[in-house]
Amino acid sequence: MRLDDIGQSENVEDRRGESDGYGGRSGGGMSFGGGGGRLGIGSMIVLGLIGWATGINPMLLISGAEMVQGLRGGGQSYEQQMPAPRSRAAPANDEMGIFVGKVLRVNEDVWTKVLPLQANIAYAKPRLVLFNTVTNSACGEADSATGPFYCPSDKKIYLDTSFFNEMATRFGGGGKFAEAYVISHEIGHHVENLLGILPKVSAQQRRVDQRTANALSVRVELMADCLAGVWAYESKAQLGIDESDIKQAMDTASAIGDDRLQQKSRGRVVPDSFTHGSSEQRMRWFTTGWTTGSINQCNTFQAQQL
């Protein structure tokens, strides 16, 4: 993958070097009533498994409502003085900042073209927040343990780039294209939001049991994997994407599949607690987007078999 001739997006907020991006660590972006915020065993398992996985943190997916993990009857409150956005091109010595800005720019170019053509919807560009250790979002506090995520409430992607080091050293995935895949997966969630999918899923998750809520989350995540594949399909010629790049994405998708994470952390696999999909599913749905370039082919909610 080559990015030498790509410009940087103007929609990167750089909060690195700040304790939380707001002048101090707040320590309480989310509060839940009922049950004192305590999680059941199943919820703790899910949280532990997805702590370093790519995609929407289930605690953040349902903004203003109950968590996917099964907290019921609690209301989310978020009151935070938001800072003025700070966007700038990364300086020449900021290799990671430049890389993220370029990947975001290519995604902007792709979806500005593809979304109107394939879905008759204009693409509204999201902002991507770079941070170190901890920051706040409209979905609550984010820290390095949550991994990258998309917050539907403020339409921003949050990324502590130390995740990329963990992805390579802890999970066996990594490489520049793999990192681009992670970013593009999160942008895939933004596309889902623009398509009206995330609000519908959130509403449905509030009405169903834990097992069904998890299954819905898997469909959301696999669709985002597929949309990342659509991005790769559309940018193949521009970025010179080759089979070695795709292998990086496949290795990473496999490394962060729920079954692999569960086997590694617990020594056994519990499919009903999956929130992102198995390694095989994540690879297959990325491949679907990569080979077809079609948003319609990414509709996991119409797929009889995931």
- pLDDT-derived band at 203 (thresholds 50, 70, 90) equals very high
**pLDDT tens by residue, 110-148:** 999 999 999 999 999 999 999 998 899 999 888 877 789
Q: Which residues of 96-135 are buried (b: 16+ CB within 10 A; e: fewer)?
A: ebbbbbbbbbbbbbbbeebbeeeeeeebebbbbbbbbebb
pLDDT value at residue 133: 87
- In the numeric block, the tokens 């390579």 are attached to 168
Question: Domain-by-domain residue ranges, the chain?
Answer: 12-298
DSSP letter assigned to residue 124: P
Q: ∠ CA(277), CA(282), CA(287), 5° rounding? A: 155
CB-CB neighbours of 274 under 10 Å: 25
- 95-99's contacts with Cβ under 8 Å and 24+ in sequence apart are 96/130, 96/161, 96/164, 97/12, 97/14, 97/16, 97/130, 98/8, 99/3, 99/176, 99/179
Cα 297 to Cα 288: distance, rounded to the nearest angstrom: 7
Question: Which has the higher per-residue pLDDT, 303 or 40?
Answer: 303
Q: What is the pLDDT of residues 234-248, one digit of tens each?
A: 999 999 999 999 999
Query: What pLDDT is recorded for position 73?
Result: 32
**3-class secondary structure, 149:** strand
pLDDT of residue 90: 67
pLDDT at residue number 28: 32
- Note the pTM of the prediction, 2 decimals: 0.78
Band of the pLDDT at 277, cuts 50, 70, 90? confident
Radius of gyration in angstroms for the set of CA atoms belonging to the chain, rounded to a whole number:
18
Query: How far is the CA of 6 from the CAs of 39, 84, 89, 108, 205, in angstroms?
Result: 45, 27, 12, 12, 40
Cβ neighbors of 183 (< 8 A, separation 6 or more) are 100, 103, 104, 107, 128, 148, 157, 159
What was the pLDDT predicted at 59? 41
Compute the mean pLDDT over every residue in the chain, rounded to the nearest whole number: 78
- Length of the chain in terms of residues written: 306
